[in-house]
Amino acid sequence: MWSGAGARPEFAPRSYGKLGRKVQRLAAALAVVCIALASAANPVSAAERTIKVVAFGDSLTAGYQLPASAAFPAQLQQTLKAKGLAVEIANAGISGDTSSGGLARVDWSVPEGTDAVILELGANDMLRGVDPKVTRAALEQIVRRLKARRIEVLLCGMLAAPNFGPDYAREFNAIYPDLAAANDLLLYPFFLDGIVNSPKFNQGDGLHPTAEGIARIVTGILPKVEALLARVRAKPLT
């Protein structure tokens, strides 16, 4: 209603009572739903959280005769964190373990919430002369179980000692590149690369790395681990 000649209408705010409050509550609820839908469409990236990795292996992973802080998982985690990467690496290494032993425990040794596994098994199979077909089958089943859980895998290769002969070495050495190619895995061809037969990098038994030897392994494998973390980050959270 006009208040006078030349005057403009005044629109005062009105209160709609209970109906107005219901409308406000409905609008708020719709806003929450919209936010939730937007979050679902754009899930939080793994880059925004700590990536959980399990180092799953034998004594080379466990850190035989070394303090826990010098074992492979601990040194690798420290190196990654020094580069500003948010990562936690659990030590699931058991001295003396074989690929078949790993298969028997993989479901409970790799807990829910694990993003990636560094799989290092097979050295004890080789030292015991286990049929490479048995080693291959066990590692393949481990990989399949991890992939079924959407866990990224970095496979660490092992090479047969020369005294087992060329036929054994040929069959054993082929396990790791074959499995990596067939399952789209990252592969570090030889876990002990650069430290074999080096007194500086090996303990007195000639089989297990010193702390310096573990540091050498970490340096060598680091690019592959960074690629592993990149694969995790590229996947949306579910």
Q: What is each CA distance from 56 to 18, 72, 109, 201, in whole angstroms?
A: 62, 11, 8, 22
Query: Which of residues 103 and 32 earns the better pLDDT score?
Result: 103
What is the per-residue pLDDT across 83-139, written as a single tens digit (0 to 9) for each? Answer: 999 999 999 999 999 999 999 999 999 999 999 999 999 999 999 999 999 999 999
Tokens of 201: 């990098």
* Catalytic annotation present for 131: no
- Catalytic, out of 99, 100, 115, 208: 208
Question: Model-level pTM?
Answer: 0.81
* Catalytic annotation present for 205: yes
- Catalytic, out of 58, 59, 99, 115: 59
Q: Is the per-residue pLDDT at 17 higher than 70? A: no
Count of beta carbons in the 10 Å neighbourhood of residue 9: 7
* Catalytic annotation present for 184: no
Instruction: Round to whole Å and give the CA distance between 182 and 200.
Output: 36
Q: What is the average pLDDT across 43-61?
A: 83
